[in-house]
Amino acid sequence: MTLLRGNSISGKLKTVIMSTSLLSILLATAGFVVYEYATFRQLLVNDLATKAEIIGQNCAAAIVFANAEDAQQTLAALRSQPHIELAAVYNKQGALFVTYARVQSGPPAAAKPEPDGYRFEQNRLRLFQPIIVNNARVGTLYVESNLEALKDRIVSYGSIALLVVVTCSLVAFLFASRLQKRISHPILALAETSRVVSERQDYSVRALKISNDELGALADAFNGMLSQIQQREATLQQANAAMAREIAERNKAEKILGASEERFRRLFDSHPLPMWVYDAQTLHFLVVNESAIKEYGYSREEFLDMRITEIRPPDEIPDLLASTQSGRPPLQSSGPWRHRRKDGELVEVEIVSHSTEFEGRPAFLVVAINITERRKAERELKVSEERYRSLVSAMTSIVWTADQEGKFVLPQRSWEKYTGQRWEEHSGLGCMNAIHPDDRDRVRKIWEEASAAKKLYESEGRIWHAQSQSYRHFTARAVPLFRADKSVREWIGTVTDVHDRRKAEEEIRKLNLELEERIQQRTAQLEATNKELEAFSYSVSHDLRSPLRSIDGFSQALLEDEADKVSEQGKDYLQRVRAAAQRMAELIDDLINLSRVTRAEMRLEKVNLSAMALSIARELKETQPDRKVEFRIADGIAASGDARLLRVVLDNLLGNAWKYTGKHPKARIEFGITGENGTSAYFVRDDGAGFDMAYSDKLFGAFQRLHATTDYAGTGIGLATVQRIIRRHGGRIWAEGKVDEGATFYFTLS
């Protein structure tokens, strides 16, 4: 049946006709075949039974006479019947008498006869038939036939039937093809028409009437319907056109309205000032803009849930309610009000509201201007102004303002207070009269120059001070304030009383002068003392030596000239006198040196200490050429200092080293430099007599000696002198030593 569904109507008709006729033919043919089959089987049985009857009769005698050979011959006649496959004769007792097999290879006949009758088994027709002679059974004949004949018959019948079916089908098809057109053609034509109508939306097309039967009526009805549709269509189109026009117009209007609304909505939303609309009766917020949301911290939803009273501090609500009563002008400004933000902070606002209508209800459009900062600035300005005013009045200085020509055009309170000039007196340039007559012209000149140049005015002088009834020193400064066009608007200036400062400065100057004088006096005194000291040491070196020279000289003269008159002991005494005199001379020399070191002027220069030490070493060696002393003097040691004084230092230190190694047969004296606490220390080391560290603090004292004069000659002033020189160079000297193991003297120079 599925075949019928998708096909065209002609296909369907053909299928119906064809399947109907085919079914009839097949049924008929099948009937014939079945009947023929049954008939032929019966024919086969009958034929086999007839043949068996004949053969049985022919065999009957042989059985009776047990003549197997005859029986065999009889059976052999069956060879003419190709469809007989097997035959057997059983005797009366049922024993197999003879057999016949068309083919020897087949199965043998059964040993005992089966019940009489035929049966179809395994493509075989088997028949047991009694052999009757004179109504007495003498044996049984068994015949087995194949069914080739039946098969052949069926095949030939089938072939014929097939041929008949095919032929009939062809014929039926031809007829069906021809006949169905008579029905399908008008239907197809109708279908085509309706397709055209639906595809082209062309309702003027008409179906062709082919026949006068029901299909014809259908075409007529279809055409009638089309006509109606066509008519309706025309009406509809007219209506549509009218509607389209209407819609177009409405769209246009809506677009214009929408754009305008959008514009206003956007204007409202993006307005930098917080805005909202509230219901005039319920006081509910109806719509709020972004700025309001941002400013107040409430979300849009929260806003729309609130009334305008909820953003006011409670104490303002009565006033608010009063102001929202009817009778107010449509546009009004009010405020300052205070609004509460979501975070609780109160802001001062100024309100502009306008009565309007929102969604058909009376409402107010509100713009809230936050004036908190402005008010704060105003208050601060006020405070600042007050402060300025009080500062000005509190100041001892005068602050003044003048017009572009430097004239007082307004009463200057601080000026009046200080100078005692009344406004009539100090107005204009009258103020100049408060300045000391000696300074007046000069100050006026400076002022005129500054005012002409429009530059900083700075002057000083004396001004009348009413309170103390005296002129006091002042400094004045003023700067011009310009208009946009660079012209001077006014001058603002100060006059500062610097009288006390001036006095203090004068005092300081005087004190400084005195101090300087004192210093000069002191210096002069010092210089005088120095000179005296110099003269003293000069005369000491000159005059103190003279008697010594006499003592020594005349002692010597005695020893030489009066040798014969002086005893040996007397000579010894005279020698002691001489030695003492000479020693005293040395002491005097050393003392002079010591004082000279302190007084001498320092001349700083670069000094090659290595070269200096080498030269001293050479001199020392010359004094005692026999001594075996090894000098180790480091190369390239230089220092900044006074060459003459440093020479004294090295003379003393190397001389000491030389002296105190005098009792050693071999000695070594070193001069070098060593690092100590980041500064370099010079050192002179010997391996001579050394000293006990316990007395090291006495080394550098004048006239302090650690050795007896008899052991080592000396005055005990050398190291004191050395220390003075080192100190004058800003350095330090110290020594290390051990008795009989030598001494090392270190010194630094700044």
Partner 1 sequence: MANRIIMLVEDNEDDEALTVRALKKNNISNAIVVVRDGAQALEYLFATGTYAGRDMNEMPQLILLDLKLPKVDGLEVLRRLRADERTRLLPVVILTSSKEERDLIEGYRLGANSYIRKPVDFVQFTDAVNQLKLYWLVLNQPAPRNGN
With CB under 8 A as the contact rule, the residue among 5, 178, 542, 565 that binds partner 1 is: 542
CA distance 639 to 673: 11
Question: Which residue in the set 271, 284, 545, 705 belongs to the binding site for partner 1 (CB under 8 A)?
Answer: 545
Q: Tell me how far, at minimum, the Cβ of 605 lies from partner 1, in Å.
A: 18
**Distance (Å, rounded) from C-alpha 747 to C-alpha 282?**
104
Q: How far is the CB of 561 from partner 1 (least distance, A)?
A: 8
**Cβ-based nearer residue to partner 1, 450 or 594:** 594
Least Å distance between CB 593 and partner 1? 9
Question: Does 627 engage in binding with partner 1 (CB under 8 A)?
Answer: no
Say whether residue 94 binds partner 1 (CB under 8 A): no
Between 129 and 555, name the residue whose CB sits nearer to partner 1.
555
Give strand pairing partners of 128. Answer: 117, 142
User: Please, which residue, 39 or 575, has the CB nearer to partner 1?
Assistant: 575
Amino acid occupying residue 86: L
Task: Please give the Cα distance from 24 to 32 (Å, whole number).
Answer: 12
CB of 552 to partner 1, least distance (A): 5
16 belongs to the binding site for partner 1 (CB under 8 A): no
- Shortest distance (Å) from residue 549 CB to partner 1: 5
Minimum separation from the CB atom of position 750 to partner 1 (A): 26
Q: Where are the alpha helices (DSSP H) in 540-642?
A: 545-561, 568-599, 609-623
Q: Which is nearer to partner 1, 101 or 581 (CB)?
A: 581
The least CB distance from residue 550 to partner 1, in Å, is: 4
CA distance 59 to 88: 11
CB closer to partner 1, 121 vs 560:
560
Strand-pair category, 361-370 with 346-358: antiparallel
Position 554 contacts partner 1 (CB under 8 A): yes
CB contact at 8 A, 177 and 166: no
CA 214 to chain centroid? 87
Strands 628-633 and 666-676: parallel
Site residue total, partner 1 (CB under 8 A): 23
Smallest distance, partner 1 to C-beta of residue 729, A: 20
Instruction: Give the residue among 434, 479, 481 at the shortest CA–CA distance from 461.
Output: 434
Cis ω before 411 (30° cut-off from 0): no
Q: Minimum distance between the CB of residue 633 and partner 1, rounded to whole angstroms?
A: 27
Q: Which is nearer to partner 1, 143 or 581 (CB)?
A: 581
- CA–CA separation, 43 and 46 (whole Å): 5
Contact flag: residue 552 with partner 1 (CB under 8 A) = yes
The CB-of-573 to partner 1 minimum distance in angstroms stands at 16
How many secondary structure helices (H) and strands (E) does the chain include? Answer: 18, 21
Length of the chain: 750
Q: How far is the CB of 597 from partner 1 (least distance, A)?
A: 13
Q: Which of 151, 549, 632, 738 touches partner 1 by CB under 8 A?
A: 549
Binding segment for partner 1 among 15-23, 393-401, 465-473, 548-556 (CB under 8 A)?
548-556
Token pair listed for 256: 């214009």
Q: Is the dihedral of CA 5, 11, 17, 21 positive or negative?
A: negative
Binding partner 1 (rule: CB under 8 A), the pick from 58, 427, 556, 680 is 556
Regarding 602 and contact with partner 1 (CB under 8 A), the answer is: no
553 is an interface residue for partner 1 by CB under 8 A = yes
> Least distance in Å: CB of 548 to partner 1?
5
Of residues 102, 97, 108, 149, the one with CA closest to residue 125: 149
Task: Confirm or reject binding of residue 543 to partner 1 (CB under 8 A).
Answer: yes
DSSP code, position 541: I
Residue 546 sits in the site that holds partner 1 (CB under 8 A):
yes
CA nearest 468: which of 419, 503, 400? 419
Neighbouring residues of 616: CB distance < 8 A, sequence distance ≥ 6: 647, 650, 651, 654, 655
Judge contact between 418 and 474, C-beta under 8 A. no
Query: What is d(CA 388, CA 379) in angstroms, rounded to the nearest whole number?
Result: 14
Sheet holding 470-482, edge to edge: 398-402, 488-497, 470-482, 457-465
Please say which residue, 72 or 582, places its beta carbon nearer to partner 1.
582
Site for partner 1, residues 568 to 587, rule: CB under 8 A: 578, 581-582, 584-585
> Is 557 an interacting residue with respect to partner 1 (CB under 8 A)?
yes
Q: Does 589 bind partner 1 (CB under 8 A)?
A: yes
- C-beta atoms surrounding 622 within 10 Å: 8
Interface segment toward partner 1; rule CB under 8 A; list 173-181, 462-470, 544-552, 733-741? 544-552
C-alpha 151/C-alpha 704 separation (Å) is 171
Site string for partner 1, 501-540 (x = CB under 8 A): -------------------------------------x--
Two tokens, residue 527: 């210089």
Binding mask 376-415 for partner 1 (x = CB under 8 A): ----------------------------------------
| Residue 500 to residue 482: CA distance in whole angstroms | 34
Which amino acid is it at 155? V
Residue from 165, 548, 634, 673 in contact with partner 1 (CB under 8 A) = 548
249-278 footprint of partner 1 as x/- string (CB under 8 A): ------------------------------
309 binds partner 1 (CB under 8 A): no
User: Least separation, in Å, of the C-beta of 629 and partner 1?
Assistant: 25
DSSP category for residue 496: E
Task: Give yes or no for a contact between 747 and 681, defined as CB atoms under 8 angstroms apart.
Answer: yes
User: What is the rounded distance in angstroms from the CA atom of residue 260 to the CA atom of residue 383?
Assistant: 49
The answer to whether residue 603 forms part of the interface with partner 1 (CB under 8 A) is no
| Minimum distance from residue 599 beta carbon to partner 1 (Å) | 12
CB of 695 to partner 1, least distance (A): 31
Cα Rg, the chain, nearest whole Å: 80
Q: Which of 372, 541, 608, 704 binds partner 1 (CB under 8 A)?
A: 541
Which is nearer to partner 1, 189 or 592 (by Cβ)?
592
The residue ranges that bind partner 1 (CB under 8 A) are 538, 541-543, 545-550, 552-557, 578, 581-582, 584-585, 589, 592
